[in-house]
Amino acid sequence: MVNDQRESGRRQVFSAIRKAGRVARVDLARETGISPATVTAITAELLREGLIEETGTPDRSDLRRGRPRVDLKVRGAAHVVAGMKLSHLAIATALIDFEGTMIAEHTCALDKSRHSAAELTALVERALDETLSKAGLSRDQLSGVGLGMSGVVDAMGGLVHWSPSVAERNVPLRDMLGARIDLPIFIDNDANLVAMAEQYFGHGRGVSDFIVVTIESGVGMGIVINNEVYRGARGCGAEFGHTKVQLDGALCRCGQRGCLEAYVADYALLREAATTTDFADITTSSAKLQALVEAARGGDTTAQMIFDRAGRMFAMGLANVVNIFDPQLIILSGERMQFDYLYADQVLDSIRRSIIQIDLPPPQIVIHKWGDLMWAKGAAAFAIDGVADIALQNFSGNAA
């Protein structure tokens, strides 16, 4: 393989194109530091392989003379991938093209939240096929599948060490799925996938170091360092929900005490509320939480106290992460409005106050409300990343 240094050039150029959305070759050369001549050579290759395409001459609002630039963009039609998210009682699937455009979506209900790995592979396969038929596509038109779930997942090894969705421990889920679905499979923790979604399609575009915090029923975190999702040595980094915010504090689902999750997750709030309030007439925990939110809004001081402490604990935990990481940007990525109390101004202020003070602007904090396909889109982003990786490796220029 002499084609080794070329690969790095191709990678640089391609990711610059993706990052920019649409760029002319001149700008690619300027941004990557690669000479215009080489940019021409590389883009010609990528064009030939169909990974990118030329668009019409760009918007000439800034009338310049000279030869007009020709913008390049990722060719959406090059690949279609599926992003799937295993959650409590459903499998959400999204089909997304190489540019990130949504092609189809589908949600498949589950009868219970935890399944054996064998059951799960069958369910995932079914959900995938249902989505494909909905979109009128066949499996061989797909280039890869990304799958996310909460829990501890080793993305490199394709192992699920532990997940609330999987009955067994240490399941080689990637290979199990790969055996039934003959496509490249990519599995990861869901918070990491949201980080990738932000990196590819959201606020993280072009930001090299940022943190994404997600709240579902637990608290998750994804870390991007140097334009890459950081996964830790054992593949179980960023367990933000289980950082401790109180010595010998509240009991957590994980069996330890004082975890952040044990203060801010829905079950934690309801546990507290149950001390004074009896939600006997409300059945679902989601509705109970809603009632608690209403109570706080309505002036119930106990309910307010509960949310207040949760917010302050959240701020403390997040400030710790910032003090350790010093990211450029923190994205609070949420799906449900129920967690608004954690994103309140006073919480954000509290975070800012708890960060070590220097004479530089503090990291930016943005709140990003996604639709309910956030997770699946993240899984798709992961798949796109993997597929692009393969595509950039394999095709070795000299197709002739």
Q: For the chain, what is the HEC assignment?
A: CCCCHHHHHHHHHHHHHHHHCEEEHHHHHHHHCCCHHHHHHHHHHHHHHCCEEECCCCCCCCCCCCCCCCEEEECHHHCEEEEEEEECCEEEEEEEECCCCEEEEEEEECCCCCECHHHHHHHHHHHHHHHHHHHCCCHHHCCEEEEEECCEEECCCCEEEECCCECCCCECHHHHHHHHCCCCEEEEEHHHHHHHHHHHHCCCCCCCCEEEEEECCCEEEEEEECCEECCCCCCCCCCHHHCECCCCCCECCCCCECECHHHHCHHHHHHHHHHHCCCCCCCCHHHHHHHHHHHHHCCCHHHHHHHHHHHHHHHHHHHHHHHHHCCCEEEEEECCHHHHHHHCHHHHHHHHHHCCCCCCCCCEEEEEECCCCHHHHHHHHHHHHHHHHHHHHHCCCCCC
Q: How far is the CB of 144 from its own copies (least distance, A)?
A: 25
CB 130 to its own copies: min, Å? 33
Residues interacting with its own copies, by CB under 8 A? 5, 152, 161-162, 169-170, 208-209, 221, 223, 225-226, 230-240, 242-247, 254-256, 258, 312-313, 316, 319-321, 323-328, 353-354, 356-360, 363
Minimum CB separation from its own copies for residue 18, in Å? 22
Does 61 engage in binding with DNA (CB under 7 A)? Answer: no
- Does 68 participate in binding DNA (rule CB under 7 A)? yes
24 binds DNA (CB under 7 A): yes
Question: Could you tell me which stretch among 20-28, 81-89, 240-248, 363-371 binds DNA (CB under 7 A)?
Answer: 20-28
d(CA 74, CA 76): 6
Q: Which is nearer to DNA, 24 or 310 (CB)?
A: 24
Residue 67 within binding range of DNA, rule CB under 7 A:
yes
Which one among 14, 16, 17, 43 touches DNA, defined by CB under 7 A? 43
Q: Residue 237 or residue 397: which is nearer to its own copies going by CB?
A: 237
Rule CB under 7 A: say whether 354 interacts with DNA. no
| Interface pattern 361-400 for DNA (x via CB under 7 A) | ------------------------------------xx--
Give me the phi and psi of 173, to 5 degrees please.
Answer: -65, -35
The one of its own copies, DNA, none whose footprint includes residue 256, by CB under 5 to 8 A per kind, is its own copies
Residue from 347, 230, 341, 329 nearest 295 by CA: 341
Binders of DNA among 69-88, rule CB under 7 A?
A: 69-70
Decide: is 6 part of the binding site for DNA (CB under 7 A).
yes
Cβ of residue 43: shortest distance to DNA, in angstroms?
6
- Is the CB of residue 29 less than 8 Å from the CB of residue 66? no
239 binds, among DNA, its own copies, none (CB under 5 to 8 A by kind): its own copies
Closer to its own copies by Cβ: residue 93 or 320: 320
Instruction: Choose among DNA, its own copies, none what residue 36 binds, the Cβ cut-off being 5 to 8 Å by kind.
Output: DNA
Q: Which amino acid is at 320?
A: N
Out of 21, 36, 126, 301, the only residue in the binding site for DNA (CB under 7 A) is 36
User: Which of these ranges, 62-70, 190-198, 225-233, 241-249, lies near DNA under the rule CB under 7 A?
Assistant: 62-70
Biggest CA-to-CA distance, the chain: 76
Supply 10's token pair. Answer: 């191709």
The yes or no reply on residue 3 touching DNA (CB under 7 A) is: yes
Rg (CA), the chain: 23
Task: Pick the closer one to DNA by CB: 51 or 153.
Answer: 51
CA atoms within 13 A on the CB side of 256: 12
Q: Which does 65 bind (CB under 5 to 8 A by kind): DNA, its own copies, none?
A: DNA
43: partner contacted, choices DNA, its own copies, none (Cβ within 5-8 A by kind): DNA
* Least gap, CB of 213 to its own copies (angstroms): 12
Pick between residue 280 and residue 399 the one whose CB is nearest to DNA: 399
Q: Residue from 37, 247, 324, 399 that binds DNA (CB under 7 A)?
A: 37
Residues in contact with DNA by the rule CB under 7 A = 1-6, 8-9, 24-26, 33-44, 57, 63-70, 397-398
